[in-house]
């Protein structure tokens, strides 16, 4: 089942990052990376076409209280969402407290190991503080960078499937899972 999560008062630190709730004043940083071609498509959404579009999405991040802003050297460079997983697709997880991670990083910061650092901090928070039993994390098969992040963070294969994106395309995807017992071991 999808466990309740509220990150509105949560701040996680890593050696290089601060994971914190989004604020309205993050709009310029958000638009700067979300409007770049090639960033959103890796997660199934189009680059933002205007600051107004980014502002609407940012307001949703703030209201829903489940998406971290990734701050690096005082600048927001990405996001990490603790999303609801598809309970109809995975009914066998109904007795477990679960969620699904989704993330995006500014193209300018790809290849520096920042996302595994952020995902590891979120995993620790979700298993130690929220007491989840398992975390799902998926990626499009063509997204090798995301697959590497998940492997580095201990996720292992759970299922293949197809995903209908927000832009109307259909992507082959892989869902990976990490159980708290495996993470602790």
CA 3 to chain centre: 16
Whether residue 112 is predicted with pLDDT greater than 90 in this model: the reply is yes
CATH superfamily of 12-184: Gcn5-related N-acetyltransferase (GNAT) (3.40.630.30)
Percentage of residues of the chain with pLDDT beyond 90: 93
- pTM for the complete prediction? 0.96
The per-residue pLDDT for range 138-158, each reduced to its tens digit, is 999 999 999 999 999 999 999
Contact 58, 24 (CB under 8 A): yes
Average pLDDT, the chain: 97
The per-residue pLDDT for range 10-28, each reduced to its tens digit, is 999 999 999 999 999 999 9
Which one, of 164, 103, 172, 167, lies nearest residue 137 by Cα?
103
The per-residue pLDDT for range 40-80, each reduced to its tens digit, is 888 889 999 999 999 999 999 999 999 999 999 999 999 99
SS3 track for the chain: CECCCCCCCCCEECCCEEEEECCHHHHHHHHHHHCCCCCHHHHCCCCCCCHHHHHHHHHHHHHHCCEEEEEECCEEEEEEEEECCCCCCCHHHCCCCEEEEEEEECHHHCCCCHHHHHHHHHHHHHHHCCCCCEEEEEEECCCHHHHHHHHHCCCEEEEEEEEECCCCCEEEEEEEEEEHHHHHC
Contact 5, 130 (CB under 8 A): yes
pLDDT band per the 50, 70, 90 thresholds, residue 168: confident
């Amino acid at each position: 089942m999808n466990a309740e999560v509220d990150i509105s008062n949560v701040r996680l630190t890593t050696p290089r990052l601060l994971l914190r709730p989004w604020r309205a004043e993050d709009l310029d940083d958000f638009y700067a990376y979300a409007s770049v071609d090639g960033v959103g498509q890796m997660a199934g959404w189009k680059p933002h076409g205007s600051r107004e579009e980014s502002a609407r999405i940012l307001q949703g991040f703030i209201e829903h209280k489940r998406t971290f802003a990734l701050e690096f050297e005082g600048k927001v460079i990405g996001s990490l969402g603790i999303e609801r997983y598809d309970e109809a697709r995975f009914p066998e997880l109904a007795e477990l407290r679960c969620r699904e991670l989704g993330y995006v990083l500014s193209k300018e910061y790809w290849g520096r190991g920042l996302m595994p650092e952020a995902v590891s901090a979120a995993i620790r928070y979700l298993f130690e503080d929220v007491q989840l039993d398992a975390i799902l994390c998926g990626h499009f098969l063509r997204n090798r960078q995301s697959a590497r992040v998940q492997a580095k963070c201990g996720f292992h294969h759970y299922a293949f499937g197809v995903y209908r994106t927000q832009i109307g395309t259909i992507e082959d995807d892989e869902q990976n899972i990490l159980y708290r017992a495996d993470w602790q071991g």
